[in-house]
Amino acid sequence: MSAPSDIPQAPKVTEREARQVAEAAREQDWRKPSFAKELFLGRFRLDLIHPHPQPAPDDVRRGEAFLARMREFCETRVDGALIEREAKIPDEVINGLRELGALGMKIETKYGGLGLTQVYYNKALALAGSASPAIGALLSAHQSIGVPQPLKMFGTQEQKDTFLPRLARTDISAFLLTEPDVGSDPARLATTAVPDGDEYVLDGVKLWTTNGVVADLLVVMARVPESDGHKGGITAFVVEADSPGITVEHRNAFMGLRGIENGLTRFHGVRVPAANRIGPEGAGLKIALTTLNTGRLSLPAMCVGVGKWSLKIAREWSAVREQWGRPVARHEAVGAKISFIAATTFALEAVVDLSSQMADESRNDIRIEAALAKLYGSEMGWLISDELVQIRGGRGFETADSLAARGERAVPAEQMLRDMRINRIFEGSTEIMHLLIAREAVDAHLKVAGDIIDPDKALADKARAGANAAQFYARWLPKLVSGPGRVPNAYGEFRVPGHPDLSTHLRYVERSSRKLARSTFYAMSRWQGRMETKQGFLGRIVDIGAELFAMSAACVRAEHLRVNDDHGREAYQLADVFCRQSRLRVEELFGRLWSNTDDIDRRVVDGVLSGTYTWLEEGVIDPSGEGAWIADATPGPAEGDNVHRPIR
C-alpha cells in the first residue's frame, strides 16, 4: 500500500493526554544513585561527588592531544568574523574538521572515531565554540543529538556497522523532532511513518533542523499509525538526507549563530527501510529524551567557553580603560561584575566537568545533573554575556567590524550576546527545563502518593497509596529536621589553613537541601493535584536546587585542585566568592516561594487575553509584516526549490 494523501494535521490532544505521552517517555526507574535527586529529597550525599571523580590517564593523554590539534586548527584555519559576516561556515573549514576527526569525537575508535570521553568532548566544543559558535553548534548537533548518540545507545549492531563509520569520518547528521506547530509537546506530532511491507513511508514537515541544510543523515521522529502487527506511536528512524521526496525548503536566519545550517525540511512519500528504525515502534520519544540526558551537557560546555573568554576580555579592557583617574575595574560597580564573571565561570566549569566525569564513569544517574547543567549554564552564561557588554559600555554595543574600521580591537561582545540568547531556548527552554527537572525531583513523592491526587484512581487505589505514603513519610520527614549542616565541624576537610573556609558553604547546602525538601512536601500537601499548575513555584524550587548543585560542585572542584596542587588557593577563593553570591540568590528564591505575584499575574494574563488592556497598546505602530502566526505545515509535495547543500 502507499501512503494516504489525506494525512491529518497535528492531532488534537487534551492537556492530560499530552502529559501522559510525556510521562510514558520518561525513564521510570532509578537504577543508579543520583546526587541531584537526593539533594531535592533533602539528603546531601556529598560522598557521591567527593572526592572528585578522575579520568583515566589514557583518556587524558588522548584528550589533551586532540585539544592541541583542535586549538591549532581553530587558530590557523577558522575565521570567526568571516563566518559571522557571510552567515556560513566555509566548506573548506568543514572539510578540515572532517580531516581532524572532529565529526567522530564521541564515536568509538572501532568505528573510526576518536573515542573521546564526555569530559574532553565538552572541552573540545568549548574550544571550537570560542573560535566560532556556529562551529560549536554544528559539531554538537551532529554528535550530541544527531544520529551517532541514539545509535550508540539504542541501535542494532548492523546499524552501528553501517552508519557510524560514515558519521565518524564524512557524514554530517541532524536531529528532526520539532514541527511548525509542535515544540515541547510531542503528543501532537504530525509527521507520519506509514508501514508498507518492509518499508515505512514518511510524510510531514520539520522545523529548526540544525545541520538539516547540509546533513547527509537524519534521525527523524515520526508517528506510526497503530494497525495489525504494528504497535504504532512516535518512532525514530535513520533517514538518508538525499532520499527522494525530501526537500529542504528554507534555510532559516537568526539573530545569532548566523553560520548554522538550520532549515525547514519536508517529507513527501519518503521511503525508509524498516531496518533503519531505531528501537521498537513507539520508543522514539524515549530515545530522544534519553539521548538528551548527556547530550544536554554540550550546551553548558560552550557556555563555559563564553565565560572564560568574557573573563579575559573583562580583565584586559577594564585594566586599561580609565574613568575618573583610575581603571574602571577599580570602581566597585564594575568590579562587582568582574567578580561575578570570574566566580560564575569557575562554578560553571565545575558543574560541567563534574557532570561529564560522572557520565563517563556511569556510576550515577545524571539525568537531573545534566538538565541542571543545561538550565544553569544557559541562564548564567547569558548573564555573563550581558555583564561583559555592560563593562565594555558603548563599545560592547558596537560590532567588531565597526570597532576595527575605526582602529580599535575587534571585540565581538555584541555578537556573543546574540549568539548566547538561543541557549535559553533550544534543547529545552528554561521554562520546559523547570518542569522537566521538577517532575524528576518529585518522582519519589509521586511514586508513593501519586494515586492519592490522581482523580482517575479508584478509592481502593487511593487507600493503598495512603498507607504506603504514611510509611514513607514517617521515615522521611523526621530526617528533614536536623543534619550535619547544624554541626559546626562537619565537612572539616574543606577547612584548610590559609584558605577560605568552604565547609561553612557545604553546611549551608545541607541545611538548604532539607529546607528545600520540606518546602516541596508542604506545597504538595497544600496544592495536591494542582501542584503541576504552580509553574512559578516549581521553577523556583528547581532554581534553588541548581544553585545548591553549583555550590557543591564548586567546593568539590576547589578541593580537587588544591589536593593536586593546581591553583588550589585561587580555586578556594573563587569557590568562596561564588558560594557567597549564590547564597544570596538562594535566600531570595526561598523568600519568593511564598511571597510572590503568581496569583495576580494570572489575573492580569486573563485580562490581557480577553482584551481588557488593549488601550495600553495604543500609540505605536506595529512593524510586523503580514502572514500567519504559524505557517501551514500540511503534508504534500514541495512547491519550491530544494536548498539542501551537502558538503563534499
Q: Could you tell me whether strands 246-251 and 192-196 are parallel, antiparallel, or unpaired per DSSP bridges? A: unpaired
Peptide bond into 484 cis (omega under 30): no
Closest among 444, 532, 607 to 39, alpha carbons compared: 444
CA distance linking residue 504 with residue 181, whole number of Å: 49
Q: For every residue of 132-200, which 3-state class applies, written as one string? A: CHHHHHHHHHHHHHCCHHHHHHHCCHHHHHHHHHHHHHCCCEEEECCECCECCCHHHCCCEEEEECCEE
CA distance linking residue 493 with residue 559, whole number of Å: 9
H/E element, 60: helix 57-77
Amino acid at 125: L
Q: Which segments of 438-526 are extended strands (E)?
A: none
Alpha carbon of residue 156 to chain centroid: 27
The answer to whether residues 551 and 509 touch, using CB atoms and an 8 Å cutoff, is yes
CA distance linking residue 464 with residue 462, whole number of Å: 5
The answer to whether residues 26 and 450 touch, using CB atoms and an 8 Å cutoff, is no
* Residue showing cell 539573530: 255
3-state secondary structure of 583: helix
H/E element, 562: helix 535-563
H/E element, 613: none
The answer to whether residues 372 and 296 touch, using CB atoms and an 8 Å cutoff, is no
3-state secondary structure of 224: strand
Closest among 368, 342, 345 to 355, alpha carbons compared: 368
CA distance linking residue 454 with residue 532, whole number of Å: 12
- Residue 427 is a catalytic residue: yes
How many secondary structure helices (H) and strands (E) does the chain include? 23, 10
Q: Could you tell me whether strands 322-323 and 326-327 are parallel, antiparallel, or unpaired per DSSP bridges? A: antiparallel
* Residue showing cell 584555519: 77
Closest among 362, 417, 350 to 388, alpha carbons compared: 417
Amino acid at 260: I
Catalytic residue among 179, 281, 427, 547: 427
DSSP per-residue letters across 292-342: HHHHTTHHHHHHHHHHHHHHHHHHHHHHH-EETTEEGGGSHHHHHHHHHHH
**In Å, what is the CA distance from 241 to each residue of 212, 216, 642?**
8, 5, 12
Instruction: Please give the DSSP secondary-structure letter assigned to residue 5.
Output: S
Catalytic residues: 427
